[in-house]
Amino acid sequence: MARREPSRVARGAAGAGVPTVVIMGAAVLPGGVPSQALADRVAAAHAWGEARPLPPRYMPTGGVGRHPPAESAVMARLLREAGVAADRITQEPTGTDTLSSVLACVRLLRGVPGPVFVATHRYHLPRTLLLFRLAGVPARPVPPPPGPAARASLARWRWRLREIPALPYDAALMLWARLTRRA
């Protein structure tokens, strides 16, 4: 099997260019209201990104969940309300889970020079970063939002424990996507 040339994203990720901050989606509540987790991720990405010497592009990702609009649209609105110019925001509105969001973002990032950073909660960072790296994008973390993604102890453990089977499962699917050239 011939060795694949690293994607342009991978070659440029540590080099020059405008950084891109991918913001992983979270629930949208009825009426298009952001969940606390979604708002926290956007706030963390924005605070970190705007403190950089070179302000980044933002790529909020996430499709329509239980309630419209798409998670990416709600995050883009929050970024604009925080003063980010619309031309620095590229929405990825098709992702329905972590794996599909990463795959869609990788396609959008092809040919875009500059480092890639990921904003999500602490429990979600290992899987998200692994998936980007398996796809050939050496993404790095944005400092996660302070505090847990869920306020109730049982809910926090549910999210943490769900990552145990999700990480190897999604990693295997990402490797398969690379082998079949979908990533």
Confidence (pLDDT) at 152: 62
Task: Please give the mean pLDDT across all residues of the chain.
Answer: 89
How many whole angstroms separate alpha carbon 44 and alpha carbon 75? Answer: 12
Q: Which two tokens stand for residue 106?
A: 């990788």
CA distance 39 to 26: 9
- Digit-coded pLDDT (tens) for 105-135: 999 999 899 999 999 999 999 999 999 999 9
Domains and CATH numbers, the chain: 8-179 (3.40.50.620)
Three-state secondary structure call for residue 59: strand
What are the backbone angles phi and psi of residue 18, rounded to the nearest 5°?
A: -75, 130
Instruction: Kindly write down the DSSP assignment for every residue of 21-43, as one continuous string.
Output: EEE----EEGGGEEPHHHHHHHH
Q: How does residue 172 score in pLDDT terms, banded at 50, 70 and 90?
A: very high
Q: How confident is the model at residue 15 (pLDDT cuts 50, 70, 90)?
A: low
* 39-81 residue pLDDT tens: 999 999 999 999 999 999 999 999 999 999 999 999 999 999 9
Residue 147: pLDDT band (50, 70, 90) is: low
The number of C-alpha atoms within 13 Å of 5 and in the hemisphere containing its C-beta is: 6
Q: What angle do CA 177, 110, 53 make, to 5 degrees?
A: 125
Q: Is the pLDDT of residue 38 over 60?
A: yes
